Structure formats: structure tokens, C-alpha cells
Chain A
Amino acid sequence: GAGVSQSPSNKVTEKGKDVELRCDPISGHTALYWYRQSLGQGLEFLIYFQGNSAPDKSGLPSDRFSAERTGGSVSTLTIQRTQQEDSAVYLCASSLGIQGGEQYFGPGTRLTVT
């Protein structure tokens, strides 16, 4: 496909379980971002990958959150021991990686922790 894809589109999990969210960026885009959109919180930055550089993890809310990007393409965001406050829409974006490049967003994964 031409756009950013994310899976699953919806995920319901029980409190305390681990979840993995997947993002496939646009082909050729070297930069990849994760954001979280919560009710009342708006959109907040989580983590950023650029090529082989060390990721910018400054937005991760706790050490229960981690992300990796394999082969410079697909990324997985992992949330361990989920809490109800983790319920949100998790959005992935990619860009060409040039400075000031336009970011293109995927449809998001809606996570509900019961």
C-alpha cells in the first residue's frame, strides 16, 4: 500500500497483560514516529526513529513502554503490564527523514484496557 499501515486496528486487553502494536511506514521513509491520542490529553509524542541512529525515547511515559524498529522499516510498540490509563489511540507516522519533512500518519490502533 501507499500509506502508513498499523495493526491491529482495535485491541482490547485485560489490565496487566502485555500488548504489541505494529506499524509499517511508507516505503522509503527513514523516519518513524509513535504518538498517543488520549481523551482530554490530545496528541502526545512517544518515540522517534531515524535510520540507524539511537531512537529519541523522550516521550515514553514509563519504562513499561518500549519500541523497536527492525531493518529500518517495521516498528513494534510494546506496552508491558498494561494499565487502564494506557487506553488510547496509538498513531504511527513516517517521513522522508529530511529536516522538516512532512509527517504522514497511519489510521491508528485503538487500545482499550479493561
Chain B
Amino acid sequence: KQEVTQIPAALSVPEGENLVLNCSFTDSAIYNLQWFRQDPGKGLTSLLLIQSSQREQTSGRLNASLDKSSGRSTLYIAASQPGDSATYLCAVRPFQGAQKLVFGQGTRLTINP
């Protein structure tokens, strides 16, 4: 059974710092991995999708990497801003044809002005 873990559960950093959020999964046979952002009381906003054949994806100040063999993904946020404060979730699609996403518990990020 695929399990996804995100550490730390919460992170607080000063504005302007670069930071890394971690995601690990137990079964490397994944089809893709998706990073989401969730603001309090809101739904999920998709940030980046990495296919299993890819090593990384970039969007603006965000960079996500994928090391399938070691079961790890990282989300790098450059020059953090208070508006980046949210919960960040990673989710894996276990294998081709299985459409459900398996989510981690999330990392609650606070950027202090």
C-alpha cells in the first residue's frame, strides 16, 4: 500500500529565505506526483505536476524535483514571501490506470514578515 509522508508537519521561516519542503513515498512505482497548496478554508490549488519520467518542474519561484528510485520529492521555494504561507500537500498517483491520488498530511508553512 502506497504511503506518503511529509516532514516537517509545520515550518516557520522569515521572509526572503529559500526553503525546501520534503515528500517521501513508500512505493517507487508511481505514475506522477503533484504538489498542491491549500489556504485555510479553501480547496487545493495545483502548483506543479511531475511525471515519473521527469526529474524536475519549475514554475516561477517554485521548483519541484523527483527522485523516484529513492521515493522522494522536494519543493523548493525561492525568496519566500508572506503570501506563500499555506499548507503544502504532495500527492502521488500510484501507477498507470489508477486514477486516485494518495496524499501526504501536508506541511503548514508560515512566512514571517
A residues near B (Cβ < 8 Å) are 4, 6, 31, 33, 35, 42-45, 48, 50, 56, 58-59, 91, 93, 99-100, 102-108, 110
Using an 8 Å CB-CB cutoff, how does the interface string of B27-67 with A read, 1 for contact, 0 for none? 00001101010000111111001010000000000000000
**Residue contact B103 to A100, C-beta cutoff 8 Å:** no
Question: Quick one: given A43-B89, A91-B44, A108-B43, are A103 and B101 in contact (CB under 8 Å)?
Answer: yes
CB of B43 within 8 A of CB of A102, answer no
Can you list 5 residue pairs at the A/B interface with Cβ under 8 Å? A6-B43, A56-B100, A103-B46, A105-B46, A107-B43
Q: Which of B32, B43, B99 contacts A48 (CB 8 A)?
A: B99
In the bound complex, residues from chain A placing their C-beta under 8 Å from that of B91 are: 43
Q: Is the CB of A48 within 8 A of B100?
A: yes
Contacts known (A99-B31, A99-B96, A105-B36); A43 close to B103, Cβ less than 8 A? yes
Chain A residues near B89: list those with CB within 8 A.
43
- Give Cα A43 to B104, complex, Å: 8
By size class, the interface of chain B is: 20 to 34
Contact present for B103 and A59 (CB under 8 Å): no
Query: With a CB–CB cut-off of 8 A, which chain A residues contact B100?
Result: 33, 45, 48, 56, 58-59
The reply to whether A50 and B99 contact each other, CB–CB distance below 8 Å, is: yes
B residues with a Cβ closer than 8 A to A are: 31-32, 34, 36, 41-46, 49, 51, 89, 91, 93, 96-97, 99-106
Knowing A42-B105, A43-B103, the reply to whether A99 touches B97 (Cβ < 8 A) is yes
A45–B44 Cα distance when bound, in Å, is 14
Complex Cα–Cα for A105 and B35 (A): 12
A100 and B43 within 8 A (CB): no
Contact A103 B42 (CB under 8 A): no
Q: How far is the CA of A48 from the CA of B98 in the complex (A)?
A: 10
Closest 3 CB pairs of A and B: A45-B100, A105-B44, A43-B103
